[in-house]
Structure 1
Amino acid sequence: MWKEIPVPFYLSVYFFDVLNPEDILKGGRPQVRERGPYVYREFRHKSNITFNDNDTVSFLEYRSYQFQPDKSHGSESDYIVMPNILVLGAAVMMEHKPMSLRLLMTLAFTTLGERAFMNRTVGEIMWGYEDPLVHLINKYLPGMFPFQGKFGLFAELNNSNSGLFTVFTGVKDFGRIHLVDKWNGLSRVNFWHSDQCNMINGTSGQMWAPFMTPESSLEFYSPDACRSMKLDFQATGVFEGIPTYRFGAPPTLFANGSVYPPNEGFCPCRESGIQNVSTCRFSAPLFLSQPHFLNADPVLAAAVGGLHPSQEEHSLFLDIHPVTGIPMNCSVKLQLSLFIKAVKGIGQTGKIEPVVLPLVWFGESGAMEGEPLRTFYTQLVLLPKVLHYAQYVLLALGCFLLLVPVAYHVRSQEKCYLFWSSSKKGPQDKEAIQAYSESLMTPAPKGAVLQEARL
C-alpha cells in the first residue's frame, strides 16, 4: 500500500473566469465567475526505492493525470479568460527597473502580440501552450524560467516527481516512523527568511505515526507549497464504520507576520491569509491561500466580485485512523492568485488598480474504498471489536466453570443429610444419626482404618 497507493486520488480544478477584462484595464473592480470542476484522476507510484543504513528509505514518487469527463463540469476545450501571468507578472517584477528597460519590454510585448488578459482553453492553461515570450526569454535570459517550451500552471506536475524524499522507517526508533529526514538531499530549504520557516517538518504527507490522540497535530512537507504545514485536531468522526480524527487548517496557516509572528519568515507579506510564494516561483508575484480567500482578511474577497468563501466548501481536512495514522478520507484545497497593478512604462498594464486576483483553486481528494477498505475494516475494526467482546464472554465462561464444583460440593452436603431428615424416629435417634453423619464428612486421621458403617 505504501509503494502503490490503492486509494484513487482526484485533482479537481476550478478556474476564475474574468468577466470584465477591459474594465479592469481602466481601473475597474474585477468580476470573476467560478468555472469547473475539471476533474483529473491522479496516479501515484514510488520508484528508486533505496533502504539506507541509518533507518531511512529514499524514493521518488511520480504523478500522472487523466481527465475524467464524467466527473467534470465542462471539457478541456472550454475557453477561460484569465490574466496573462507572463505579462502581468513580469510587469510587477520590472516595476523598480530602469524606465528604458520597461519601455523595451513594452515594445517586446507589442511585437509579440502579448496582452494583459488571454482567452485560452482549459487544456492549454493546465498543461501548457506555446508562447513566443517564453522562447524569447529562454533565448536571451537562459535560466530565468525553470521550464522550456510550453507554459502551463500544471505543466511541471504531469509525469514528474515531487523530489527525492528520504523518510525514517521506524525500525530502530518507532517514534520517528514516516518523518522526513531529507528532501532532495536537504534537511532544510532556503526559500524563506527564518530558520523556523525553512525547516522540513513532519512526514511526506501520506502516513503519520500511529496511536494518535486529540492532542496530536499533523505536520507534513509540501514541495508544491515549498514549506511545511501543520494541521490541528478538530473533531472525532466515523468513516465507513472506521473511527477517525479530523485534522484541518488553523486560521493562522497563511496568516501574515503581524497577525502570527512565526510566519514573519514568509514575508514580504500583504494582507493576512495569503502567502507570498514568489521566492520559490521564479520571483513571480504569486500568492497561496485557501479557496475564495477563506480565513483571510475580508478586504481580499471584497476587492474581487464573485467570491464567496465558505467553511463547508473551501476548508481542507484529513480524516486519519488514529490507531494506524493512515488517512481514510482527505481533501486538500488551495488557491493560486496573482498580484497585478499598473506599472508605469509598461503600456499593457493600463490603469489596473492593485489587486490580488485569483487564478485557480484546486483540491486533491481521496477516500479509501473497495477491497482495501474491507480489509482495513476487518483487520483493524471488526476483529479488535470481536476480541473486545470475547474477553467478557471468556470471563463469564470462566466464572461459570468455577461455580460448577462449588455447586457440586453444596449438593454433596445436602445428600449427606437426606437419610435422616425424612426419618420418623424420636429426637434422640435423630441426634445420634446426625452426629454420625457429620462424622462421616470429617476426614479420617492419617493412618486410620476405615470400616463400613451400616444403619
Structure 2
Amino acid sequence: MAKTSNKKSIILGVIGFLLVAFGTLLVFLVPVIMDQQVEKNVRIDPSSGFAFEMWRDLPVPFYMSIYIFEVVNHKEVVLGEKPRVRERGPYVYREYKQKTNLTFHDNGTVTFIENRTFFFAPDKSVGSEDDYMIVPNIILLASSIMVKDLSLPIKWIISGAFATFNEEPFMNRTVKEILWGYEDPFLDFINMILPGKLPFKDKFGLFSDFNNSNTGVFTVNTGIKDITKVQMIDTWNGLTEVDFWHSNQTNMINGTAGQMWPPFRKPSEPLQFYSPDACRSLTFVYKEESEFRGIPTYRYSAPDYLFANGTDYPPNAGFCPCLASGVQNMSSCRFNAPLFLSFPHFYNADPGFVEAVDGLHPNGELHSLFLDLHPLTGIPMNCSIKMQLSLFTKAISGISQTGSIAPVILPVLWFGESGYLDGAVYTTYYNTLVLFPTILDYLQYVLIALGLGFILIALLLPFVQRNQEENPHVPNDIHNSEECPEDSKLLEDPEYGSPGT
C-alpha cells in the first residue's frame, strides 16, 4: 500500500511541477507573444491579413454630419446689424475611403492615394438635400475682402460685374448646391479673365473638391523595419514640410495620416497627424482612460492651445496674422480667401466671437472632439472630429453690395466626422488582439495555481495514507452485543420475547 501511495505522490508532484513550470514560463512568454501578435497585425504588410485590409479599405461605418448656419436677418446684416443665425441639420453623408496605387519601397515605406466618396444618408439626416436656406455668398464676400486694397476705380468695376451677374451678399440655395457646388456665371467670367487664379472651374461649393477626390500622395512607414515608425508620414506630395505658414515649426508635416498610430502608446505621448484639409499638422493630447465595448482605450482630445494665437501660445505665431485665440486664419492656404477654422459655435474660443453673432451656443459635450485609441495597437476604436468653417466679412468701400456690413467672423457651417469599430471587423479585432492575449494572461496564473495544488496534494498524500493504516476503520454492526448492549437487552426482555420465540 505504501508503494502505491508513493507512486501516486510522485506522479502528482511531477504533474504539479510541470504545470507550475509552464505557467511561470508563460509569465515571461505572454508579453512577448502579445507584442509579436500586435506587431504582426499593425504593420502595413499584405501578409498581415485583416489589419492590412482594414487599413487599405476602411470597412467600418464612417459618417460626416454637416450643420449649416442659416442667416435669418440677412437684410439687416447688410444695414450693419448683428448677424443672427439658426443651425440647420444635420445633413449626414456616408463616407467611404479606399487607398489605391499602393507602391512598396525598399526603405520600408509605402506610397498611396486615398480616394474618398460621400453618399447622402437621408435616414440619419434632419432634412433633405433639397432644403433651401439663406447663407453668405462666399464668392462675393470673400472676393470683396481680397480686393479691399485695390484702387477705388478697380473696385467699382468689380462691383459693376457683381451687379451685372446679379450677385448679392447673401443667397438662397439648396443644401446640395451649398455643399457640392452650383454653376455661377460670375465664376465663369472670373475664370475667363483671370485663368488659373481660382481653384473652382465649373462649380462653386464648400465641399465640391471633397467628393470623388483624394487628399494627396502619402508616403508612410510600413513598420516592417521599425515598428515604432509604423504609419508615420515620410512625405506628403513629395514634401517633408509645407510652405503655407511663416515658421519652420508650423510648416512641419508631423505624425501619421490620421487613421492609425504606432502601437504601445503611453499617456505622455500626444497623437499627431497631418490634415491636408487643415493644411497643417494637428495634435491631440491624452485626457483619461476609457473603454469601448470591452476594449481598454485612452481618450484623446484637442489641447486648449490648438487654435490659440501667437500671443497666448508662441509656437502658433507661425499661423498668424491672428485674431483673438480660438480661430485659425486659413487664408494663406485657401487662395487668400478670408476663411477661418475653429471648433463648432466657437467653443473654447475668445468670448468675443460668440458675442458678435446671435444664435451660437458653445457646448463642450456637443462641440468638443475626442478620439478613443487602443494604446496597445494604436488603432482608434471610436472617434468624433468636429470643426467649423467661418468667413470674415465687412463693408468694403467701392463694393456697393457689401453695404454697411459690420466686421465679423460669420459661421458658415460645422461638420463632424465620426466612426467606430463594429461588425465582423470588431469581432475579429477583439478576438485576435484582445481576447486571445487576455486568455493567455489568465492561463498562466491558472496553471500555476493548479500546479501548486497538485504539489500540495502530493506532499499530503503519504501522511493521509499512513494515518489510515494506523487507524483502520471498523464497520458498525447492530447485531454486535458489545457495541450495542442495549439492543441485546431489548431482545432478552420478556415483553419482546426471547430469541427462541
State the TM-score, normalizing by the size of structure 1: 0.90
Q: Which residue of 1 aligns with 2:258?
A: 205
Where structure 1 has 5 or more consecutive residues not aligned to the other structure, the ranges are 420-455
Q: Which residue of 2 aligns with 1:114?
A: 167
Q: Which residue of 2 aligns with 1:372?
A: 425
The partner residue of 1:153 within 203, 206, 211 is 206
Alignment of 1:323 with 2:395, yes or no, is: no
Q: Which residue of 1 aligns with 2:44?
A: none
Q: Which residue of 1 aligns with 2:62?
A: 9
Q: Offset of 1:238 from its aligned partner? A: 1.1
Q: Which residue of 2 aligns with 1:402?
A: 455
SS of the residue 2:296 aligns to: strand
Q: Which residue of 2 aligns with 1:423?
A: none
Q: Which residue of 2 aligns with 1:352?
A: 405
Determine the C-alpha separation between the residues in 2 that align with 1:413 and 1:175.
62
Determine the C-alpha separation between the residues in 1 that align with 2:212 and 2:396.
37
Q: Offset of 1:386 from its aligned partner? A: 2.2
Alpha carbon RMSD of aligned pairs, Å? 1.3
Q: Which residue of 1 aligns with 2:442?
A: 389
Q: Offset of 1:183 from its aligned partner? A: 0.3
Where structure 2 has 5 or more consecutive residues not aligned to the other structure, the ranges are 1-53, 473-501
2:403 corresponds to which letter in structure 1? Answer: G
Determine the C-alpha separation between the residues in 1 that align with 2:471 and 2:360.
94
Q: Which residue of 1 aligns with 2:246?
A: 193
1:407 corresponds to which letter in structure 2? Answer: L
Alignment of 1:265 with 2:327, yes or no, is: no
Q: 1:222-301, aligned counterparts within 5 Å?
A: 222-301=275-354
The partner residue of 2:274 within 195, 201, 221 is 221
Q: Which residue of 2 aligns with 1:35?
A: 88
Q: Offset of 1:82 from its aligned partner? A: 0.7
Q: Which residue of 2 aligns with 1:139?
A: 192
Q: Offset of 1:415 from its aligned partner? A: 7.6
The partner residue of 1:25 within 56, 72, 78 is 78
The 4+ residue runs of structure 1 with deviation greater than 6 A are 415-419
**Alignment deviations for residues 56-101 of structure 1 (CA, whole Å, 9 cap, x no partner):** 0010000000001110000000011111101010101111111111
Greater mean alpha carbon deviation, residues 131-140 or residues 306-315: 131-140
Q: Which residue of 1 aligns with 2:497?
A: none
Greater mean alpha carbon deviation, residues 243-252 or residues 378-387: 378-387
The partner residue of 2:220 within 163, 167, 177 is 167
Determine the C-alpha separation between the residues in 1 that align with 2:91 and 2:426.
27
Q: Which residue of 1 aligns with 2:37?
A: none
SS of the residue 2:267 aligns to: coil
Greater mean alpha carbon deviation, residues 5-14 or residues 396-405: 396-405
SS of the residue 2:197 aligns to: coil
Q: Offset of 1:198 from its aligned partner? A: 0.2
Identity between Structure 1 and Structure 2 (%): 56
Determine the C-alpha separation between the residues in 1 that align with 2:169 and 2:360.
22
Q: 1:55-70, aligned counterparts within 5 Å?
A: 55-70=108-123
- In the comparison of the two structures, how many residue pairs are matched? 419
Q: Offset of 1:414 from its aligned partner? A: 5.3
Q: Offset of 1:189 from its aligned partner? A: 0.3
Determine the C-alpha separation between the residues in 2 that align with 1:324 and 1:276.
35
Alignment of 1:78 with 2:151, yes or no, is: no
SS of the residue 1:2 aligns to: helix
SS of the residue 1:126 aligns to: helix
Q: Which residue of 2 aligns with 1:99?
A: 152
Alignment of 1:90 with 2:146, yes or no, is: no
Q: Which residue of 2 aligns with 1:422?
A: none
Q: Offset of 1:215 from its aligned partner? A: 1.3
Q: Offset of 1:241 from its aligned partner? A: 1.3
The partner residue of 1:304 within 357, 363, 366 is 357
Determine the C-alpha separation between the residues in 2 that align with 1:114 and 1:159.
29
Q: Offset of 1:303 from its aligned partner? A: 0.2
Q: Offset of 1:258 from its aligned partner? A: 0.8
Q: Offset of 1:418 from its aligned partner? A: 7.3
Q: Offset of 1:404 from its aligned partner? A: 3.5
Q: Offset of 1:147 from its aligned partner? A: 2.2
Q: Which residue of 1 aligns with 2:393?
A: 340
